[in-house]
Structure 1
Amino acid sequence: MKRLQAFKYELMPDGNQERQMRRFAGSCRFVFNKALALQKSNHEAENKFIGYVEMAARLPIWKREAGFEWLKDSPSQALQYALKDLERTYSNFFAKRADFPRFKRKGKSESFRYPDSKQFKIDEANNRIFLPKLGWMRYRNSRDILGKAKNITISLSCGKWYVSIQTEREVEQPSPQGNAVGIDLGITRFATLSDGTFYKPLNSFRQHEKRLSKAQRAMSHKVKFSNNWKKAKARVQRIHARIGNSRRDYLHKTTTTISKNHAMVCVEDLQVRNMSKSSAGDSEQPGTNVRAKSGLNKSILDQGWFEFRRQLDYKLAWNGGYLVAVPPHYTSQTCPCCTHVCKDNRQTQAQFRCVECGFEENADVVGAINVLRAGHARFACEVSGAVRPSAAGTRRGESALTG
């Protein structure tokens, strides 16, 4: 089967190459915003949506407009891909998978892409890569590139430039290893498995919260856009990068261990966005327990539940396994012995005791067992065709991306 995988490395550009990459990223951002403004005005005029082909035909016209000649300095395919990104964003919005497209802001998610493999060259032996209008550039070769390179994405994060090389290769169809397991996600315990195993939470943000707040206060006292302000901003960015890298590393290690040792993993279909919404309300209808809910939201987002499920999804597919998502209702209130459902069964956050049969166990373990049972039933229905397969209900396919 074919496997799509991305390999990410840190670039080591010289001063001129770095300035050029900032210009290219800025040009792509400008094209994206200009096309989005045109789509909005076109919608207000009650005209039809402008597709990519028609929008790309306007790109040469924009390059010839007075004041926009600098667009010619950027790679043309990178600008075209910015328009493809906009069309994909609209498609996700129409399919109710994402919010309405928003204008891109300078300094946030700066990136551009070379979509054609004929445009670039990779010299792994000498740890360098050739990019159009940038020339040869060295990169930190931390691991081998497997497969044939299909496209390249250049991105800026916390003052450092990175290259992400997407490859395609043929791999043997893997056979699943291990048995099925259910997982219950939580705050005190990050992930509890139905066999009793659990993973402690990393709490990456909590570990650096005081240091981050101190750096942010120092930044707020500086004159905006001054040299000292830029230094303080870089310090804040480094802390954010450390928080994100630590969380990502922990999630990768955890999901790799679980996906390699289990043929089927059942998880709760948690709506993280709804669970972490603010309860502040407004002046007319103020919320209750706002401070406590804010702390809970912070803890939920610090765990990285959505990323955990995303990584499990493609890693299980790579190892021949399956990910099954089940409704989370009453999983922690149902007795796994007598199936009695009652909120009094969970007497505390950590302890479960059935009021009907007296069964006692850790509440997270009980939740994981109930998730496993519901997952078995759902998987059997999907295989038999009684239930329409969901996006995360079966193995997603033979390709996935990883950063």
Structure 2
Amino acid sequence: MFNLTYEFKLKPTKNQVAIFEDWLEQNRRVYNYALGERKDWFKSRSCQINACSLRSEYIISADTPRPTYNRQAVALTAYRKTSSNLKRVHSQVLQQTLKRLEKAFVSMWEGGHGFPRFKKVGTMRSFVFPQLGVEPIQENAVKLPMIGLVKFNQSRPIPEGAIIKQARVVKRASGWYVMLTLHFDFAQWDLDVPQPMPHGEAIGIDVGISH
């Protein structure tokens, strides 16, 4: 099994463009809020116990757990019930933004990257639907949860047997695009992959710089 990504240019209506722009902004705010919560927690524990300033340092209770994706996702679910702005955005799309922040911290810890930065207005360029409904492609249109059918320019056909796992809506200078992740499972095709046995005599090859 493997995944492929197909990209198509969207042809959204003015109302759908307004929804896209609003969702990008709400996801940006969720990202920045979650990042600020994590940053405050780390700063509250970065000073020496005999050198902290009670006036200027970040003071957070010692028993406050470190903000993680799971804890922030639970808090987001509760806050979304009271926020009219967040109710307009699909819950799974907001959760994907938290996962995006989590990956940024993993890259910092394991990849040596810098501390994640806050996103300015207009710098959030995409949001993700981790799963789509049944038959999401209908006559050159993709059906996005809570948004509905959005027309797109189907420049190439989607292979038969491919399962559309997720969709990423991307904003570029040239317009809006959708990146569809296609999942292929060879098991359902009942393919017989040949596995030839090694035969003959082994040959060693020394590959040089120029020959």
Q: TM-score range by the shorter chain?
A: 0.7 to 0.9
Q: How big is the shift at 1:110?
A: 1.4
- CA displacement 1:281-338 (0-9 Å, x = unmatched): xxxxxxxxxxxxxxxxxxxxxxxxxxxxxxxxxxxxxxxxxxxxxxxxxxxxxxxxxx
Separation in 2, partners of 1:4, 1:89: 23
Listed as ranges, the matches of 1:77-92 within 5 Å are 77-92=92-107
Provide TM-score, normalisation by structure 1.
0.40
2:132 paired residue among 89, 108, 117: 117
What is residue 72 of structure 2 aligned with on the other side? 55
What is residue 100 of structure 1 aligned with on the other side? 115
Runs of 4 or more consecutive aligned structure 1 residues displaced over 4 Å after TM superposition: 171-175
What is residue 8 of structure 1 aligned with on the other side? 7
2:88 equivalent to 1:73: yes
Structure with the larger RCO, 1 or 2 (CA within 8 Å, 6+ apart): 2
SS of residue in 1 equivalent to 2:133: helix
Q: How big is the shift at 1:64?
A: 4.9
Separation in 2, partners of 1:149, 1:97: 33
Separation in 2, partners of 1:174, 1:24: 48
- Which is higher, the Rg of structure 1 or of structure 2? 1
- CA displacement 1:178-231 (0-9 Å, x = unmatched): xxxxxxxxxxxxxxxxxxxxxxxxxxxxxxxxxxxxxxxxxxxxxxxxxxxxxx
Aligned partners of 2:132 and 2:145 also within 8 Å: no
Whichever structure has more helix as a proportion of its residues is: 1
Separation in 1, partners of 2:17, 2:75: 28
Give me the identity figure in percent: 26
Q: How big is the shift at 1:62?
A: 2.9
* Residue-pair matches, total: 176
What is residue 142 of structure 2 aligned with on the other side? 129
Aligned partners of 1:7 and 1:166 also within 8 Å: yes
Q: Which runs of 5+ in 1 are unaligned?
A: 176-367, 374-403
Separation in 2, partners of 1:92, 1:64: 31
Q: How big is the shift at 1:27?
A: 1.0
Aligned partners of 2:25 and 2:122 also within 8 Å: no
Separation in 1, partners of 2:130, 2:73: 15
Provide TM-score, normalisation by structure 2.
0.75
Change (3 A) 1:50 1:119: farther
Listed as ranges, the matches of 1:281-296 within 5 Å are none
Q: How big is the shift at 1:152?
A: 0.5
Change (3 A) 1:174 1:152: farther
What is residue 60 of structure 2 aligned with on the other side? none
- Code of the residue aligned with 1:136 in structure 2: it is L
What is residue 39 of structure 1 aligned with on the other side? 38
SS of residue in 1 equivalent to 2:77: helix
